[in-house]
Structure 1
């Protein structure tokens, strides 16, 4: 059976590096994002298949997994990489923006993990991987919504890791302790090495 990797929240930084690595290791790769036009160059480069989906919407997540199964097969590795960030002082934050941050950063992780686990349990194998951040363990000023979402994602990973490990499904949460370089985020000339290399 072919190994299939689904990367949810795909973009030009860490997820692109992961997609290239999975391809190099012989995986078929599915990329999911809200806007897939930004994925066309990467898809062409590595032969990945792109799918449009909002990870915070139940019906779109379910349709995503059905579409991936139909085109490639059941994913054996699922990476959850979306996040949404809103900054501001506690008293000035818009509650709707905070809710959106939690929906994308944490609730979407639950939806994707649930959909993945339902399928992996039938296979009796799989891996569900979550991208964390410094904010997963430390809340910074002006960044309460992001910390709330990342703390919740870490709690989800810890809980389901203990639940699914006996069923041969590996769950991991990776704390990326710094900003990652991407097509949309580059170092300033006077600050070399201020961003993490996604390939590393």
Structure 2
């Protein structure tokens, strides 16, 4: 039965990924495109999405996720281009590191806005469109900081704790209306061209393509057994 679910089609036809880049969001874009889903991707700088757009035929839009008018406009543009996005993934986050006493308050405010305020705006716009349809999925990318605050990472923890709280609340509110809300705790470093696995520690970082596979597996879950939160970590990660 598990293999049947994993091999089944993704039950949605359109997607919007906010906070798109070259890591997890790019892998999810590729996976959704291969599954026949029409994808729109968005970031503050749409030009940097050109290679991904060329590779996958995803439509690229520019939007500041912390600006309510810009988020509303992004959803309108997406809807006009590919239809109502039935899958909405929020992948943006803000990070400022340093001792609490030394942090620039304005930079901290901006980081928190990106991690949680922007997520609220995107979830709100998604819910307004999905509730009348009675189906859809809203996915939120979290981090270790969603559940554990580290020294010199207070701003990131505030933003990611807020994101997790939003996900939990939205899941309880929206699931009975047919909308699957899921939060993903990415507990470890994500592999990239500039951060490969050390030769002596294979698979010690999270493969973004493997993360994307889990996102799609969650999208395929029967509604009788929905997950609201999934933790992902390499096999050697401490927790």
- TM above 0.5, one fold? yes
How many residues in Structure 1 have an aligned counterpart in Structure 2?
A: 199
Give distance in 2, aligned partners of 1:70 and 1:190. 47
Is the CA contact (8 Å cut-off) linking 2:108 and 2:155 kept in structure 1? yes
CA RMSD between the two structures: 1.6
Q: What is the correspondence of 1:141-152 to structure 2 with a 5 Å cutoff?
A: 141-152=151-162
Over 6 Å off, 4+ runs: none
Is the CA contact (8 Å cut-off) linking 2:197 and 2:205 kept in structure 1? no
Q: Does 1:95 align with 2:102?
A: no
Q: C-alpha offsets along residues 76-112 of structure 1, whole Å, 9 cap, x if unaligned?
A: 0000000111000010011001100110000000000
Correspondence for 1:83: 93
Deviation (angstroms), 1:180? 1.0
Give distance in 2, aligned partners of 1:10 and 1:151. 21
Give distance in 1, aligned partners of 2:206 and 2:29. 17
Deviates more, 1:153-162 or 1:1-10: 1-10
Give distance in 1, aligned partners of 2:64 and 2:180. 24
Correspondence for 1:186: 195
Deviation (angstroms), 1:191? 6.7
Is the CA contact (8 Å cut-off) linking 1:30 and 1:50 kept in structure 2? yes
Give distance in 2, aligned partners of 1:26 and 1:134. 31
Give distance in 1, aligned partners of 2:43 and 2:72. 14
Give distance in 1, aligned partners of 2:12 and 2:116. 29
Give distance in 2, aligned partners of 1:199 and 1:166. 31
Question: What are the ranges of 5 or more consecutive residues in structure 1 without an aligned counterpart?
Answer: none
